Amino acid sequence: MDILAHALWTNIAYYKKYRINLKNRLWAVFFGVAPDLISFAPSTIYLLLFSPGSFLQYKLSLEVGRSQWYFRWAVESYNYSHSLIIFLVVFLVLRLALKKFYWPMLGWPLHILIDIFTHKDFFETPFMFPLSNFANHHGVVWSEPRFMIINYSALACAYIVIFYFYRKHAQNK
């Protein structure tokens, strides 16, 4: 799924818990987009700054130019940033270090779970990496126009419901 949709869905997922606490909700949104930022920000920035023509053909460039460092980074880091196993290890280490459950961090596995079903044929999500390279090959393509229309329509409906519910709830107090 695209990074904006990940941010919006994560915000919806955390809205009730952190409606008042914007800082924690923004941290959840950060964790919800971090897997893609880790994997694709370096190559995107590099292509925009040093090779803007290649940026327009990003998918083709990834398939043809895998020898370039920024494409290797995207492919290799995707395995780590989109793994529920890696998330679990990082989460448990932080849990032991902080001695508390940090809820906003759950934006990360939400991102992975969404990607398992919305990445088909391109950056399929290896959610069990490094134990397995298994990925769901039966999902939908998130960039397919019909899916984008459905996804953003669902987001719009969810935001309308949330804001209507909380506005009505606030007026009844």
The greatest distance separating any two alpha carbons of the chain, rounded to the nearest whole angstrom, comes to 61
Residue 144 pLDDT? 93
Assess whether pLDDT exceeds 90 at residue 2.
yes
- H or E, element range at 67: none
* pTM for the predicted model, two decimal places: 0.86
Q: Where are the domains of the chain?
A: 3-171
CA pair distance 37, 34, nearest whole angstrom: 5
Predicted local confidence at residue 121, as pLDDT: 82
Q: What is the pLDDT of residues 89-129, one digit of tens each?
A: 999 999 999 998 899 999 999 999 999 999 988 888 999 99
From residue 106, how far is each of 12, 43, 78, 135 by CA, in Å? 13, 26, 18, 21
> 25-83 pLDDT, tens per residue?
999 999 999 999 999 998 888 877 776 665 555 555 555 455 677 788 888 999 999 99
Q: At 47, phi and psi to the nearest 5?
A: -65, -40
